Structure 1
């Protein structure tokens, strides 16, 4: 595998666009989860990806597993838990109104991840291991499993990519600082929002790895470079950060300079926010190349 991701996968039920969650009568089924979004983005861009995680032995879990496999994501290390459910996420989708996100993840199979489940063969040969701050915040055992994953990656010679991905419904700012802030210093690549770094009270200059900062104006930068966002109509902003991570990691995997990594990351994010769920806009390689040409060059934008 080029990349191993480890984290939570939930069944997403997305309300029909524009309808508030409490009024919605029609929902579209999909997969949610920060690491699974990144895995999907990388798989579509042509990289071999393996997903580590736990699902319930229930219809939601079987549905999630089927959708991951349909994307070409490796799932042979998935644990199916007969005693805990697959997490569920309900949300609505609006282009210019606050989005209501409801999580049903307490006691889920994903929250029961333990360090003993992670073994060296799961990351053997990987170039990158990607995880977010959501995973260690799910439970004490998931926190310990995340620490174990960092150790295994280091032993295998894989680089660790880490996105704090702060969700305050999972814990207070103090809890996030206690569990997640120390992980930034252990990562080789950190992809974080400026607001997240402030909440975690982490100065990016003190981190030893590559730090990619996503700014409040939607620009991003690293190593003295800055990438402005591509101007597109926004249908739904959810999933933009995961899309950015997929685009940036894809560039790193191909050995591209940081300038190219930033540009491709911004393009993938711009494509995702034009669609109503987290993954519909994620492009394949040809689609990303066409989008970049449309964003950066004058001329015909219709692919005929």
Structure 2
């Protein structure tokens, strides 16, 4: 991110150093690990910056080597990290995980984040003025679980106020962070304050006892756009035209603009004369999964990127699926996204071709063949 131009997106939250095993097996048996980075908000920031957007990440890390590594690595993606605080007294959070799929009982994650520098974020350390110039402010429910100060920060940033950036909120329920309870009420409160909400049908069932997309929409009636993720089945978007979304920027030199909604600058709504929802469903492509970690963050980044470009709703969902597929086909949290022109070609496929799309490791390279049956 060059110069001092206002950011397209500001992401606020914790990032950690991640240690990935060199082979499958229990943590007790793995002899060595490789170092990477992880954190929902920084994942989104890095993916958006890699996709060509101006992005700022605001977090808090220790004044230690791991903090240096995080700031340098995230900055190398092109993310503005000038607002990251360095805490002299608290450490940077780290975590270890196994190579096994998260959906299996064998998967293990060991977090060392209690008392981390990020847990000291508060309204005093992240004033609203530090996010006010963004077109989109992206937050997740993870931050709310880190400490009472972090929850106070989330309530401050999500409070309705004149001139607030479009507020994007990923529910991102992590049960292990809510050992003292309260997740359902807090995450519902925060989600209802947002303009754009991402939530998995599975986590909505755990949090609120509702799993169908329409039941979730009935519970979250306030946000202008609600994205319900259904794993391999795809995703459903409910949207209204009650609030304006960011006006898309001019196309980049040498790139043709993607398909626009009939309401450029709004969230793909078909008719501004009614507040009724339009509902769009897009299936996910078939993906050969290497590791599922980071896919939800990548989906959000793809959807937000397409939103910033003013693309239509179906195309926004397809870009979300494609960015998620990039993350699903690598072992770490972060993947190199496909080039914009490559993703645009795939997102523009007709329904039949999209339905036969099959993506495997390495598919993001322009020279890679995309398989169909």
| Residues 17-41 of structure 1, C-alpha deviations (whole Å, 9 max, x = no match) | 4343222223111111000111111
Q: Which has the larger radius of gyration?
A: 2
Mapped contact 2:284–2:321 kept (Cα < 8 A): yes
1:242 corresponds in structure 2 to 297
Aligned equivalents of 1:52, 1:177: Cα separation in 2: 26
**In structure 2, do the counterparts of structure 1 residues 102 and 183 end up closer, same or farther at CA, with 3 Å as the change threshold?**
same
Size of the aligned set, in residue pairs, is: 302
Aligned equivalents of 1:290, 1:23: Cα separation in 2: 44
Mapped contact 1:94–1:235 kept (Cα < 8 A): no
2:60 corresponds in structure 1 to 54
Query: Paired residue for 1:101, among 109, 115, 125?
Result: 109
Aligned equivalents of 1:148, 1:179: Cα separation in 2: 13
**In structure 2, do the counterparts of structure 1 residues 249 and 108 end up closer, same or farther at CA, with 3 Å as the change threshold?**
same
Query: Paired residue for 2:205, among 198, 207, 223?
Result: 198
Mapped contact 1:190–1:211 kept (Cα < 8 A): yes
**In structure 2, do the counterparts of structure 1 residues 283 and 23 end up closer, same or farther at CA, with 3 Å as the change threshold?**
farther
Does residue 175 of structure 2 align to residue 111 of structure 1? no
2:310 corresponds in structure 1 to 255
Aligned equivalents of 1:17, 1:232: Cα separation in 2: 22
- How far the C-alpha of 1:284 sits from its partner, in A, is 4.1
Instruction: Decide which moves more: 96-105 or 188-197.
Output: 96-105
| Residues 79-138 of structure 1, C-alpha deviations (whole Å, 9 max, x = no match) | 100000000011122358542111110000000111112224311321110010000110
Higher helix share: 1
Mapped contact 2:315–2:348 kept (Cα < 8 A): no
SS in 1 for 2:28: helix
2:245 corresponds in structure 1 to none
1:15 corresponds in structure 2 to 21
Does residue 226 of structure 2 align to residue 211 of structure 1? yes
2:31 corresponds in structure 1 to 25
**In structure 2, do the counterparts of structure 1 residues 216 and 272 end up closer, same or farther at CA, with 3 Å as the change threshold?**
closer
| Structure 1: 5+ residue stretches without partners | none
- How far the C-alpha of 1:205 sits from its partner, in A, is 2.1
SS in 2 for 1:18: coil
SS in 2 for 1:143: helix
| Residues 160-205 of structure 1, C-alpha deviations (whole Å, 9 max, x = no match) | 1111111111014842013221011100000000122223327322
Aligned equivalents of 1:105, 1:8: Cα separation in 2: 10
| Residues 231-283 of structure 1, C-alpha deviations (whole Å, 9 max, x = no match) | 12111011111111000111111111111000110111112111101102433
Mapped contact 1:17–1:94 kept (Cα < 8 A): no
SS in 2 for 1:73: coil
- How far the C-alpha of 1:291 sits from its partner, in A, is 5.6
Aligned equivalents of 2:282, 2:327: Cα separation in 1: 17
2:144 corresponds in structure 1 to 136
Higher RCO (C-alpha under 8 Å, 6+ residues apart): 1
Query: Paired residue for 1:123, among 131, 151, 160?
Result: 131
Aligned residues: CA RMSD: 2.3
**In structure 2, do the counterparts of structure 1 residues 45 and 154 end up closer, same or farther at CA, with 3 Å as the change threshold?**
farther
Mapped contact 2:10–2:136 kept (Cα < 8 A): yes
2:156 corresponds in structure 1 to 148
